[in-house]
Amino acid sequence: MVSWQASRAGEISFYHSLPPSCYTALGQRPRNTISTRSNMANKKSKKSANGSASASPAASSPIVGASSPTMNGAEKDASAVPSGSSSPMPPSTPEVADPPSPAEPEEESVTVRAEKTKEKGNVAFKVGKYAEAVALYTKAIELNPLEPSYLTNRAASYMALKRFRMALEDCQVAASLQSAAPSPKTLLRLARCQLALGSSTPALSTIRTILSIEPKNAQALQLQDKVQVLENHVKTFEAAKQKKEWGLARLALDKCLQAIEGEGGDIPAEWRYWGRTRVIARLVGGCEHCCKTLVMLYG
């Protein structure tokens, strides 16, 4: 088959061989028009050749925009720069996941907090900080009021501060919480408070309960002897008052006071009142009614 270029070249040579008079019959096509048309055909053939040459590398890659495995990092960054931009685009920053938040510690139970507070109170008590120990035991009781050991520990702190009435209340509450299984330790502390407050009869009753649980409890047996001595002096004092034997009554009262002071206890209000009455009676001539009136007026 003859190519179109050869056919076109033959046509051009045919036109050139014609005389000028035939140009009119052939559409008055000047020679420069024919050459121009030839030039345009040549340009089209060159463009098509160039297009096929430029398209051949793209055809060799199976994926559009895929880069060669040997392309280094700089070439990759350069290929990412859009056309018309004078400066290369900065590399994209990889997204960093937020670090996991630390797990919140589980809140301690009320029982655990109360126990830790009690331990702090024990430390304060051992070094002689009794007021601080009372405050710590009080916090523990507020957290767990049904734990008798917190009450007995606070009672021990009150006893060290010579505040026997408050210690007595704590021991009574603790003993009631332990009524199903009485604790000799709690009852012994209760009996000491009763002795320090001059309540000999209740103290003896408490000691009898201890000995029923532990018949050979040495501390209970020793305390029983002290309480029994106080009980005897109290009975003598009451009997002397009934008989108006004021000298014997005063002597018995002094013995009772000595027994309590030995324990560092509080003097009962009744004993304090009667002692003041006897002192005033001596000053006003022994009129008991006058003595009581003066004591009520001036304390």
Q: How far is CA 171 from the centre of its chain?
A: 32
Is residue 49 in a domain?
no
- Residue 256 located in a structural domain: no
Distance CA 190, CA 151 (A): 11
**pLDDT recorded at residue 245:** 86
In this prediction, residue 261 carries a pLDDT of 77
H runs (alpha helix) in the chain: 4-17, 31-60, 73-79, 110-126, 130-143, 148-160, 164-177, 184-196, 200-213, 218-242, 246-262, 269-284, 288-298
What's the first-to-final CA gap in the chain, in angstroms?
A: 150
Flag whether 255 is in a domain: no
pLDDT at 19: 62
Read off the CATH number of the domain in which 156 is found: 1.25.40.10
How many other C-beta atoms lie within 10 A of the C-beta of residue 175? 20
Closest among 158, 143, 239, 153 to 196, alpha carbons compared: 158
In angstroms, the CA 205 to CA 30 distance is 150
Residue pointed to by tokens 């990412």: 80
142 is in which domain, residue-wise?
110-171
Inside any domain, residue 195 = no
Residue 224 · residue 207 · CB < 8 Å: yes
Q: What pLDDT was estimated at residue 292? A: 52
- Compute the distance between CA of residue 278 and CA of residue 286 in angstroms, rounded to an integer: 8
Would residue 136 count as lying in a domain?
yes
Report the domain count for the chain.
Answer: 1
pLDDT tens for each residue of 238-290: 998 888 888 888 888 888 888 887 777 777 777 777 766 555 455 444 555 55
**Domain assignment present for 248:** no
Low-confidence ranges of the chain (pLDDT < 70): 1-107, 275-299
Q: Is 144 part of a structural domain of the chain? A: yes
Distance in angstroms (rounded) separating the CA atoms of residues 259 and 200: 11
Reported as a single tens digit per residue, the pLDDT across 224-242 is 999 999 999 999 989 988 8
**Residue 210 is assigned to a structural domain of this protein:** no
Contact (Cβ atoms closer than 8 angstroms) between residue 229 and residue 259: yes
How far apart CA 60 and CA 139 sit, in angstroms, is: 84
Is pTM beyond 0.75 here? Answer: no
| Structural tokens at position 40 | 């345009």
What residue type is 120 in one-letter code? Answer: K
Amino acid residing at 253: L
Position 56 scores a pLDDT of 47
Q: Which two tokens stand for residue 36?
A: 């121009």
